[in-house]
Amino acid sequence: MADGRMRLFAPVVMALAILLGGCAGESRHRILAQTIAPASAGQIASTHELFIATSRARDEAPGVVFAGDRSPDPMFGRVEISVPAVHEPGRIERSPTRKVADPARYFAARRIGLYTSEEGFSESLREDLAESDGRALVFVHGYNTGFDEAVYRMTQIVHDSGFTGTPVLFTWASAGRTIDYIYDSNSAAAARDALEDTLLTVARSGAKRIDIIAHSMGSWVVMETLRQLAISGNKDLNGKLGDVVLASPDIDADVFKLQMRRYGEPVGGFYVLTSRDDRALSLSQLIAGNQPRVGAVINAQNLSSAGVTVIDITGVAAGDGLHHTKFAENPLLIRLLGETLVADEGPTDEQEISRRFDRLASGIGQTIGSAAELIVTTPFEVFDLDVGP
């Protein structure tokens, strides 16, 4: 019996290793290179500072800073990343070597600072939020994502979306290895309190509006945290919660409905980006006993009954072979995130949601390389949005 199970399980593990290797490699995740090559001002598109809150433990390996071990208490930091002028929207230009950072050609970490206390982190947040009109964006990454990849991904999202507020990366203790799906799942569960603490810290540090974007397994962390906030009587972060965007959420569809039932009616824009051709979520469904994942849901009307707006992005071109990171790698969706989901006040009715997507279509119809279709299902209706040349 045991041998039979092993024979059946082995192909699944092999498929997992092959198909879900999109976020990080198997080697140590070094973010600080040994040296930084010189670059002129004209070779740098911009430099972004991200605030870091993490449930990862410190790693003393040269240049790594944080790896996949868990910390019992959250840690806080700040990182400065430059984006090269040759950057293409949707891409992360990564150096092929960990020895030399070349800001003229690749994303490059300039410096990383760690706070000795949450109070110091909060004070710095307060100063930055005062300069950005109180707008904060919290990003939570997904499975198989090292600290370095999480930093680069949020930098790319901030840069390509044109977000001008205060970016806060919440990075939980993903092992950053394809074989550690179960470890990552447990790390996600262990990160709920740390994310709740982070959101409350951002709120009391002067934020006027907090938008949240989560990807894949990170969406589960966000939903569990929102559920905890609702149980504590603070589902809207004292009126500061803005839009919530769950991109390709790796959540059991039944579990999500129960989470939303406990959370209650969304207080702002609440969006779920789904894709029926998401291969990573198809494999996740297989591992989970063939339970449908929210990010690959077919019955969008059933899902929207929980009070969320479902955006089916199956018709949008993918930047990766798994079709799992469309939200960040497709120029259309990056503009949607920047201009439609986190730039305006939260929608209050069907007409405002429709107006948002009408503006999106008219504003970017000539900026993408091929036609695309979004199927938008709101608690009110379903409508198609054709975007293209």
What are the average pLDDT values for consecutive 10-residue runs of the chain, which has 389 residues?
Answer: 38 42 53 94 97 97 95 97 96 91 96 96 98 94 96 95 94 93 96 98 97 95 98 96 92 93 90 85 74 81 86 79 78 68 52 58 42 72 54
* Strand-pair partners of 140: 170, 214
Structure confidence at residue 344 (pLDDT):
53
C-alpha span between 283 and 254 (Å, rounded): 18
Query: Could you tell me if 224 and 192 are in contact, meaning their C-beta atoms sit under 8 angstroms apart?
Result: yes
Closest CA to 147 of 170, 117, 118: 170
Query: Could you tell me if residue 216 is left (phi over 0), alpha (psi between -120 and 50 degrees) or otherwise beta?
Result: left
Longest dimension (CA), the chain: 65
CATH value at residue 380: 3.40.50.1820
The number of folded domains in the chain is 1
Helices 253-263/217-231 angle, 10° precision: 30
Give the burial string for 221-248 (b: 16+ CB within 10 Å, else e).
bbbbbbbbbbeeebbbbeebbbbbbbbb
What is the model's pLDDT at position 382? 59
Look at residue 366 in the predicted model and tell me its pLDDT. Answer: 39
pLDDT for 385: 54
- Cβ atoms of 83 and 153 closer than 8 Å: no
pLDDT score of 26? 38
Question: What are the start-end ranges of the E strands in 257-334?
Answer: 270-274, 309-312
- As given in the structure block, the two tokens for residue 122 are 């909060």
Contacts of 74 (CB under 8 A, 6+ apart): 53, 54, 55, 118, 194, 197, 198
Which of 282, 68, 266, 99 lies closest to 175, judged by CA?
Answer: 68
Give the pLDDT confidence score for residue 281 in this predicted structure. 82
What pLDDT shows up at residue 21? 42
Query: Distance between CA 360 and CA 228 in Å, rounded?
Result: 34
- Would you mind telling me the total number of residues written for the chain in this entry? 389
The single residue listed with the structure tokens 């949450």 is 118
Rounded to a whole number of angstroms, the distance between the first and last alpha carbons of the chain is 58
**What DSSP state is assigned to residue 82?**
E
Comparing CA positions, the residue from 228, 146, 223 lying closest to residue 193 is: 228
Residue 146, domain extent: 2-387
